[in-house]
Amino acid sequence: MNPIFELTSKEFIKQKNTLNLIASENYPSPKTLDILGSVWSNKYSEGYPGKRYYAGNQFADELETKVQNLALEVFDKTGEYGVNVQVLSGSPANGMVYLSVLEYGDTIMSLNISNGGHISHLHATSNWNKFFKLVNYDVKDLGNQTFEVDLEDYKAKLLQYKPKLVIIGFSAYPRTYNFSEMCRLAHASGSLVLADIAHINGLVATGLHDSPFKAGLEGADFVSMTTHKTLRGPRSAMLFAKNYIPEFLDSVLKSEKPPKSLIDIVNKTIFPGTSGGPHMHQIAAVGQSLLEILGQDSYPDKLSFRQYCENVLDTCKSLENSLKAEGLEIISATQNHLCLIKLPDSADSLEMQKELESVGIITNRNGIPFDQKTPWRPSGMRLGTAALASRGLTTAQAIEIGKLISDVIFKRKSNSQTAQKVLEITTQLSWWYRDN
Protein backbone atom coordinates (compact mmCIF):
# COMPACT_ATOMS: atom_id res chain seq x y z
CA MET A 1 0.00 0.00 0.00
CA ASN A 2 1.13 3.56 -0.67
CA PRO A 3 2.77 4.57 2.66
CA ILE A 4 1.30 8.10 2.59
CA PHE A 5 -2.21 6.76 2.03
CA GLU A 6 -1.62 4.17 4.74
CA LEU A 7 -0.61 6.81 7.28
CA THR A 8 -3.57 8.96 6.24
CA SER A 9 -5.89 6.01 6.81
CA LYS A 10 -4.41 5.42 10.26
CA GLU A 11 -4.88 9.08 11.18
CA PHE A 12 -8.46 8.95 9.88
CA ILE A 13 -9.26 5.97 12.12
CA LYS A 14 -7.50 7.53 15.11
CA GLN A 15 -9.45 10.77 14.83
CA LYS A 16 -12.74 8.93 14.40
CA ASN A 17 -12.20 6.68 17.43
CA THR A 18 -10.77 9.14 19.94
CA LEU A 19 -12.15 12.02 21.98
CA ASN A 20 -10.38 15.19 20.87
CA LEU A 21 -10.23 17.78 23.65
CA ILE A 22 -7.52 19.96 22.11
CA ALA A 23 -8.92 23.49 22.41
CA SER A 24 -7.19 24.63 19.21
CA GLU A 25 -8.51 21.88 16.92
CA ASN A 26 -11.79 21.23 15.15
CA TYR A 27 -13.47 19.30 12.32
CA PRO A 28 -14.22 21.44 9.26
CA SER A 29 -17.09 20.35 7.04
CA PRO A 30 -16.48 17.77 4.29
CA LYS A 31 -17.17 20.54 1.75
CA THR A 32 -14.40 22.64 3.29
CA LEU A 33 -11.94 19.74 3.09
CA ASP A 34 -12.99 18.97 -0.49
CA ILE A 35 -12.25 22.55 -1.54
CA LEU A 36 -8.96 22.49 0.39
CA GLY A 37 -7.88 19.60 -1.83
CA SER A 38 -9.32 21.06 -5.03
CA VAL A 39 -7.79 22.46 -8.24
CA TRP A 40 -7.30 25.78 -6.46
CA SER A 41 -4.11 24.18 -5.15
CA ASN A 42 -2.75 24.27 -8.72
CA LYS A 43 -3.02 28.02 -9.22
CA TYR A 44 -0.26 30.54 -8.60
CA SER A 45 -1.80 33.96 -7.89
CA GLU A 46 1.07 36.20 -6.87
CA GLY A 47 -0.26 39.68 -6.21
CA TYR A 48 -3.74 40.92 -5.31
CA PRO A 49 -7.10 40.90 -7.14
CA GLY A 50 -6.82 42.93 -10.33
CA LYS A 51 -3.04 43.14 -10.04
CA ARG A 52 -1.49 39.69 -10.47
CA TYR A 53 1.91 38.85 -11.88
CA TYR A 54 0.79 35.67 -13.67
CA ALA A 55 -1.96 35.17 -16.20
CA GLY A 56 -5.02 33.01 -15.70
CA ASN A 57 -6.26 34.58 -12.48
CA GLN A 58 -9.74 35.72 -13.51
CA PHE A 59 -11.50 33.36 -11.12
CA ALA A 60 -8.81 33.69 -8.46
CA ASP A 61 -9.53 37.42 -8.40
CA GLU A 62 -13.26 36.77 -7.98
CA LEU A 63 -12.60 34.18 -5.30
CA GLU A 64 -10.27 36.28 -3.15
CA THR A 65 -12.57 39.30 -3.36
CA LYS A 66 -15.58 37.16 -2.43
CA VAL A 67 -13.82 35.68 0.60
CA GLN A 68 -12.72 39.13 1.76
CA ASN A 69 -16.32 40.36 1.55
CA LEU A 70 -17.60 37.32 3.43
CA ALA A 71 -15.03 37.83 6.18
CA LEU A 72 -16.03 41.46 6.63
CA GLU A 73 -19.71 40.48 6.62
CA VAL A 74 -19.10 38.00 9.43
CA PHE A 75 -16.96 40.21 11.66
CA ASP A 76 -17.07 43.92 10.88
CA LYS A 77 -20.23 45.85 11.71
CA THR A 78 -18.44 49.22 11.69
CA GLY A 79 -17.21 49.51 8.11
CA GLU A 80 -13.82 50.56 9.48
CA TYR A 81 -11.82 47.43 8.62
CA GLY A 82 -10.23 45.80 5.62
CA VAL A 83 -8.94 42.23 5.53
CA ASN A 84 -6.06 40.29 4.07
CA VAL A 85 -6.83 36.59 3.49
CA GLN A 86 -3.40 35.66 2.13
CA VAL A 87 -1.66 35.17 5.49
CA LEU A 88 -0.90 31.49 5.89
CA SER A 89 -1.33 30.95 9.64
CA GLY A 90 -1.82 32.73 12.93
CA SER A 91 1.75 33.27 14.11
CA PRO A 92 2.86 34.65 10.71
CA ALA A 93 -0.19 36.93 10.76
CA ASN A 94 0.99 38.44 14.04
CA GLY A 95 4.48 38.76 12.59
CA MET A 96 3.07 40.73 9.67
CA VAL A 97 1.74 43.32 12.11
CA TYR A 98 5.14 43.63 13.78
CA LEU A 99 6.85 44.15 10.44
CA SER A 100 4.15 46.58 9.26
CA VAL A 101 4.32 49.19 12.00
CA LEU A 102 7.27 48.54 14.32
CA GLU A 103 10.87 49.64 14.08
CA TYR A 104 13.96 48.08 15.62
CA GLY A 105 13.95 48.54 19.39
CA ASP A 106 10.23 49.22 19.73
CA THR A 107 8.36 47.68 22.66
CA ILE A 108 5.57 45.11 22.43
CA MET A 109 3.36 44.48 25.45
CA SER A 110 1.45 41.20 25.73
CA LEU A 111 -0.08 38.86 28.28
CA ASN A 112 2.55 36.76 30.03
CA ILE A 113 2.81 33.46 28.14
CA SER A 114 3.15 31.58 31.42
CA ASN A 115 -0.23 32.85 32.51
CA GLY A 116 -2.27 32.42 29.34
CA GLY A 117 -0.55 34.30 26.50
CA HIS A 118 0.57 32.83 23.18
CA ILE A 119 4.01 31.91 21.88
CA SER A 120 3.68 34.29 18.90
CA HIS A 121 3.19 37.26 21.25
CA LEU A 122 6.90 37.08 22.20
CA HIS A 123 8.44 35.23 25.10
CA ALA A 124 11.89 34.77 26.62
CA THR A 125 13.29 32.67 23.75
CA SER A 126 11.38 34.27 20.85
CA ASN A 127 13.46 35.26 17.83
CA TRP A 128 11.42 38.46 17.66
CA ASN A 129 13.38 39.56 20.74
CA LYS A 130 16.31 40.20 18.40
CA PHE A 131 14.36 43.15 17.07
CA PHE A 132 11.83 44.24 19.68
CA LYS A 133 11.58 44.67 23.42
CA LEU A 134 9.05 42.63 25.39
CA VAL A 135 6.94 43.78 28.31
CA ASN A 136 4.25 41.58 29.88
CA TYR A 137 1.05 42.51 31.61
CA ASP A 138 -0.27 39.83 33.90
CA VAL A 139 -3.18 38.24 35.68
CA LYS A 140 -4.18 38.67 39.31
CA ASP A 141 -5.52 36.16 41.80
CA LEU A 142 -9.13 36.91 42.72
CA GLY A 143 -9.24 34.02 45.17
CA ASN A 144 -10.67 30.52 44.80
CA GLN A 145 -8.14 29.76 42.06
CA THR A 146 -9.65 32.44 39.81
CA PHE A 147 -7.25 34.56 37.77
CA GLU A 148 -8.18 37.45 35.51
CA VAL A 149 -6.24 40.07 33.58
CA ASP A 150 -4.89 42.59 36.06
CA LEU A 151 -6.09 45.89 34.61
CA GLU A 152 -4.15 47.90 37.19
CA ASP A 153 -0.96 46.16 36.10
CA TYR A 154 -1.98 46.70 32.48
CA LYS A 155 -2.49 50.44 33.01
CA ALA A 156 0.73 50.81 35.01
CA LYS A 157 2.79 49.06 32.33
CA LEU A 158 1.26 51.27 29.62
CA LEU A 159 2.30 54.38 31.51
CA GLN A 160 5.75 53.07 32.41
CA TYR A 161 6.87 51.52 29.12
CA LYS A 162 4.78 53.32 26.45
CA PRO A 163 4.74 50.26 24.17
CA LYS A 164 4.35 50.85 20.46
CA LEU A 165 2.11 47.78 20.18
CA VAL A 166 -0.18 46.13 22.71
CA ILE A 167 -1.47 42.61 22.08
CA ILE A 168 -4.81 41.55 23.52
CA GLY A 169 -5.14 37.81 23.11
CA PHE A 170 -4.53 34.45 24.72
CA SER A 171 -3.92 30.75 24.27
CA ALA A 172 -4.90 29.30 27.62
CA TYR A 173 -7.13 31.87 29.31
CA PRO A 174 -10.61 30.59 30.26
CA ARG A 175 -12.06 34.03 30.98
CA THR A 176 -13.39 36.81 28.73
CA TYR A 177 -11.87 40.14 27.72
CA ASN A 178 -13.41 43.59 27.64
CA PHE A 179 -11.88 44.75 24.38
CA SER A 180 -13.34 48.28 24.58
CA GLU A 181 -11.70 49.15 27.86
CA MET A 182 -8.34 47.60 27.03
CA CYS A 183 -8.26 49.28 23.60
CA ARG A 184 -9.20 52.68 25.03
CA LEU A 185 -6.47 52.49 27.64
CA ALA A 186 -3.83 51.42 25.11
CA HIS A 187 -4.80 54.10 22.61
CA ALA A 188 -4.76 56.76 25.32
CA SER A 189 -1.10 55.87 25.93
CA GLY A 190 -0.33 56.19 22.21
CA SER A 191 -0.09 52.44 21.58
CA LEU A 192 -1.37 50.48 18.62
CA VAL A 193 -3.54 47.47 19.44
CA LEU A 194 -3.45 43.99 17.95
CA ALA A 195 -6.32 41.74 19.04
CA ASP A 196 -5.46 38.09 18.49
CA ILE A 197 -8.78 36.24 18.54
CA ALA A 198 -7.56 32.94 17.08
CA HIS A 199 -9.27 30.99 19.86
CA ILE A 200 -12.51 32.91 20.29
CA ASN A 201 -13.33 34.13 16.78
CA GLY A 202 -16.30 31.78 16.45
CA LEU A 203 -17.69 33.17 19.70
CA VAL A 204 -17.00 36.74 18.53
CA ALA A 205 -18.71 36.08 15.20
CA THR A 206 -21.88 34.96 16.97
CA GLY A 207 -21.95 37.66 19.64
CA LEU A 208 -21.12 35.20 22.43
CA HIS A 209 -17.92 37.07 23.31
CA ASP A 210 -17.10 40.77 23.23
CA SER A 211 -15.71 41.87 19.86
CA PRO A 212 -12.56 43.87 19.08
CA PHE A 213 -14.19 45.10 15.85
CA LYS A 214 -15.36 48.47 17.14
CA ALA A 215 -15.36 51.98 15.79
CA GLY A 216 -12.77 54.52 16.78
CA LEU A 217 -10.54 54.13 19.83
CA GLU A 218 -12.64 51.33 21.32
CA GLY A 219 -11.67 48.99 18.49
CA ALA A 220 -8.41 47.20 17.84
CA ASP A 221 -6.23 48.58 15.05
CA PHE A 222 -5.41 45.06 13.88
CA VAL A 223 -7.26 41.79 14.42
CA SER A 224 -5.56 38.49 13.66
CA MET A 225 -7.11 35.05 13.70
CA THR A 226 -6.62 31.49 12.65
CA THR A 227 -9.57 29.84 10.97
CA HIS A 228 -9.38 26.29 12.32
CA LYS A 229 -10.35 26.64 15.99
CA THR A 230 -13.84 27.81 16.98
CA LEU A 231 -14.34 29.20 13.45
CA ARG A 232 -14.32 25.56 12.24
CA GLY A 233 -12.54 26.23 8.95
CA PRO A 234 -9.30 24.97 7.37
CA ARG A 235 -5.80 25.55 8.70
CA SER A 236 -5.35 29.16 7.60
CA ALA A 237 -5.60 32.72 8.90
CA MET A 238 -6.96 36.19 8.28
CA LEU A 239 -5.59 39.58 9.24
CA PHE A 240 -7.88 42.60 9.59
CA ALA A 241 -6.79 46.23 9.94
CA LYS A 242 -8.40 49.64 10.02
CA ASN A 243 -9.07 51.10 6.58
CA TYR A 244 -7.77 54.51 7.67
CA ILE A 245 -4.93 55.93 9.76
CA PRO A 246 -6.24 56.88 13.23
CA GLU A 247 -5.39 60.46 14.18
CA PHE A 248 -3.47 59.50 17.30
CA LEU A 249 -0.97 57.63 15.11
CA ASP A 250 0.45 60.74 13.47
CA SER A 251 3.44 60.63 15.78
CA VAL A 252 3.72 56.86 15.64
CA LEU A 253 3.87 56.12 11.91
CA LYS A 254 6.60 58.23 10.38
CA SER A 255 6.90 58.31 6.60
CA GLU A 256 7.67 60.76 3.83
CA LYS A 257 4.64 59.37 1.99
CA PRO A 258 2.10 58.64 4.71
CA PRO A 259 0.05 55.50 3.97
CA LYS A 260 -3.66 55.83 3.41
CA SER A 261 -4.69 53.08 5.82
CA LEU A 262 -3.42 50.42 8.18
CA ILE A 263 -4.73 47.68 5.88
CA ASP A 264 -2.69 49.23 3.05
CA ILE A 265 0.45 48.91 5.18
CA VAL A 266 -0.42 45.30 6.03
CA ASN A 267 -1.06 44.39 2.41
CA LYS A 268 2.30 45.77 1.28
CA THR A 269 4.07 43.97 4.11
CA ILE A 270 2.55 40.64 3.12
CA PHE A 271 3.06 41.13 -0.62
CA PRO A 272 5.58 41.93 -1.90
CA GLY A 273 7.20 42.59 1.49
CA THR A 274 7.50 39.05 2.79
CA SER A 275 5.42 36.59 0.76
CA GLY A 276 5.02 35.24 -2.75
CA GLY A 277 1.98 33.45 -4.10
CA PRO A 278 -1.02 32.99 -1.79
CA HIS A 279 -2.46 29.53 -1.17
CA MET A 280 -5.72 29.84 -3.07
CA HIS A 281 -6.96 26.44 -1.87
CA GLN A 282 -6.79 27.72 1.71
CA ILE A 283 -8.55 30.95 0.78
CA ALA A 284 -11.31 29.01 -1.00
CA ALA A 285 -11.77 26.69 1.98
CA VAL A 286 -11.97 29.65 4.35
CA GLY A 287 -14.69 31.04 2.11
CA GLN A 288 -16.69 27.83 2.41
CA SER A 289 -16.52 27.93 6.20
CA LEU A 290 -17.63 31.58 6.17
CA LEU A 291 -20.64 30.66 4.03
CA GLU A 292 -21.57 28.10 6.68
CA ILE A 293 -21.24 30.69 9.44
CA LEU A 294 -23.50 33.09 7.54
CA GLY A 295 -26.08 30.37 6.87
CA GLN A 296 -25.57 30.55 3.11
CA ASP A 297 -24.49 26.91 3.28
CA SER A 298 -24.61 24.49 6.17
CA TYR A 299 -22.47 22.15 8.20
CA PRO A 300 -23.70 18.53 7.98
CA ASP A 301 -25.57 18.75 11.30
CA LYS A 302 -27.73 21.57 9.84
CA LEU A 303 -27.43 23.60 13.05
CA SER A 304 -26.93 27.33 12.86
CA PHE A 305 -23.38 28.40 13.65
CA ARG A 306 -24.61 30.26 16.72
CA GLN A 307 -26.29 27.10 18.02
CA TYR A 308 -23.03 25.23 17.47
CA CYS A 309 -21.10 27.86 19.47
CA GLU A 310 -23.69 27.74 22.25
CA ASN A 311 -23.19 23.97 22.36
CA VAL A 312 -19.44 24.51 22.67
CA LEU A 313 -19.95 26.76 25.69
CA ASP A 314 -22.50 24.44 27.31
CA THR A 315 -20.44 21.28 26.88
CA CYS A 316 -17.25 22.96 28.06
CA LYS A 317 -18.98 24.12 31.25
CA SER A 318 -20.47 20.65 31.78
CA LEU A 319 -17.05 19.06 31.35
CA GLU A 320 -15.54 21.51 33.83
CA ASN A 321 -18.30 20.94 36.37
CA SER A 322 -17.82 17.18 36.06
CA LEU A 323 -14.06 17.43 36.58
CA LYS A 324 -14.63 19.60 39.65
CA ALA A 325 -17.20 17.18 41.07
CA GLU A 326 -14.69 14.36 40.61
CA GLY A 327 -12.13 16.17 42.76
CA LEU A 328 -9.97 18.09 40.28
CA GLU A 329 -9.00 21.70 40.89
CA ILE A 330 -10.37 24.20 38.36
CA ILE A 331 -8.29 27.22 37.40
CA SER A 332 -10.46 30.26 36.61
CA ALA A 333 -13.93 28.86 35.95
CA THR A 334 -14.53 28.92 32.21
CA GLN A 335 -16.37 31.69 30.40
CA ASN A 336 -15.46 30.46 26.93
CA HIS A 337 -14.64 27.32 24.93
CA LEU A 338 -11.80 25.99 27.09
CA CYS A 339 -11.17 25.04 30.67
CA LEU A 340 -7.97 24.71 32.66
CA ILE A 341 -7.41 22.14 35.39
CA LYS A 342 -4.64 21.66 37.94
CA LEU A 343 -3.37 18.12 38.22
CA PRO A 344 -2.48 16.61 41.59
CA ASP A 345 0.97 17.75 42.73
CA SER A 346 2.31 14.22 42.44
CA ALA A 347 1.23 13.89 38.80
CA ASP A 348 3.63 14.22 35.87
CA SER A 349 1.59 16.09 33.28
CA LEU A 350 3.58 14.72 30.33
CA GLU A 351 3.04 11.14 31.46
CA MET A 352 -0.61 11.86 32.26
CA GLN A 353 -1.13 13.28 28.77
CA LYS A 354 0.36 10.07 27.32
CA GLU A 355 -1.79 7.89 29.55
CA LEU A 356 -4.96 9.70 28.55
CA GLU A 357 -4.00 9.31 24.91
CA SER A 358 -3.52 5.58 25.47
CA VAL A 359 -7.21 5.28 26.38
CA GLY A 360 -8.32 7.50 23.49
CA ILE A 361 -8.64 10.91 25.18
CA ILE A 362 -6.53 13.53 23.39
CA THR A 363 -5.48 16.47 25.60
CA ASN A 364 -2.60 18.87 26.06
CA ARG A 365 -0.67 19.61 29.21
CA ASN A 366 -0.48 23.32 30.02
CA GLY A 367 0.88 25.75 32.53
CA ILE A 368 -1.36 27.41 35.08
CA PRO A 369 -0.95 30.95 36.43
CA PHE A 370 2.27 31.36 38.41
CA ASP A 371 3.18 27.73 37.75
CA GLN A 372 6.10 26.40 39.78
CA LYS A 373 6.76 23.49 37.42
CA THR A 374 8.57 23.56 34.08
CA PRO A 375 6.88 24.42 30.74
CA TRP A 376 7.69 20.89 29.51
CA ARG A 377 6.05 19.27 32.52
CA PRO A 378 3.66 21.96 33.78
CA SER A 379 1.04 21.64 36.51
CA GLY A 380 -2.13 21.70 34.44
CA MET A 381 -4.10 20.63 31.42
CA ARG A 382 -6.06 22.68 28.91
CA LEU A 383 -9.28 21.11 27.61
CA GLY A 384 -11.75 22.35 25.01
CA THR A 385 -14.94 21.04 23.41
CA ALA A 386 -15.06 22.87 20.06
CA ALA A 387 -14.06 19.75 18.11
CA LEU A 388 -16.37 17.32 19.89
CA ALA A 389 -19.27 19.78 19.71
CA SER A 390 -18.87 19.56 15.93
CA ARG A 391 -19.48 15.83 16.30
CA GLY A 392 -22.64 16.42 18.31
CA LEU A 393 -21.30 16.13 21.86
CA THR A 394 -24.06 16.47 24.46
CA THR A 395 -23.73 17.87 27.96
CA ALA A 396 -24.41 14.38 29.35
CA GLN A 397 -21.52 12.99 27.30
CA ALA A 398 -19.29 15.87 28.44
CA ILE A 399 -20.07 14.95 32.06
CA GLU A 400 -19.20 11.33 31.33
CA ILE A 401 -15.90 12.35 29.72
CA GLY A 402 -15.05 14.35 32.85
CA LYS A 403 -15.54 11.19 34.90
CA LEU A 404 -13.37 9.16 32.52
CA ILE A 405 -10.54 11.71 32.70
CA SER A 406 -10.76 11.66 36.48
CA ASP A 407 -10.70 7.85 36.51
CA VAL A 408 -7.37 7.94 34.69
CA ILE A 409 -5.87 10.73 36.79
CA PHE A 410 -6.91 9.19 40.12
CA LYS A 411 -6.48 5.58 38.89
CA ARG A 412 -10.01 4.64 39.93
CA LYS A 413 -10.54 2.14 37.13
CA SER A 414 -8.37 0.11 34.83
CA ASN A 415 -7.31 1.83 31.63
CA SER A 416 -8.85 -0.99 29.60
CA GLN A 417 -12.25 -0.25 31.14
CA THR A 418 -11.86 3.46 30.43
CA ALA A 419 -10.74 2.81 26.85
CA GLN A 420 -13.87 0.75 26.25
CA LYS A 421 -16.07 3.57 27.58
CA VAL A 422 -14.26 6.05 25.33
CA LEU A 423 -14.94 3.87 22.31
CA GLU A 424 -18.61 3.64 23.26
CA ILE A 425 -18.88 7.44 23.29
CA THR A 426 -17.05 7.86 19.97
CA THR A 427 -19.46 5.45 18.29
CA GLN A 428 -22.36 7.59 19.51
CA LEU A 429 -20.84 10.76 18.04
CA SER A 430 -21.32 11.83 14.46
CA TRP A 431 -18.48 11.42 11.97
CA TRP A 432 -18.95 13.53 8.90
CA TYR A 433 -16.19 12.25 6.66
CA ARG A 434 -16.39 9.41 4.14
CA ASP A 435 -14.66 6.23 5.31
CA ASN A 436 -11.52 5.45 3.34
Which residues are known catalytic residues?
A: 44, 46, 196, 226, 229, 235
Q: Which of 221, 238, 232 is nearest to 86 (CA)?
A: 238
Measured in degrees and rounded to the nearest 5, phi and psi for residue 389 equal: -65, -30
Q: CB neighbours of 180 closer than 8 A, spacing ≥ 6?
A: 210, 214, 218
48, β-bridge pairs: 51
The Cα 43–Cα 246 span in angstroms is 37
The Cα 16–Cα 432 span in angstroms is 9
Strand, helix or coil for residue 48: strand
Q: CB neighbours of 34 closer than 8 A, spacing ≥ 6?
A: none
The Cα 417–Cα 232 span in angstroms is 32
The Cα 375–Cα 171 span in angstroms is 14
**What Cα–Cα distance (Å) separates residue 224 from each residue in 14, 65, 94?**
31, 18, 7
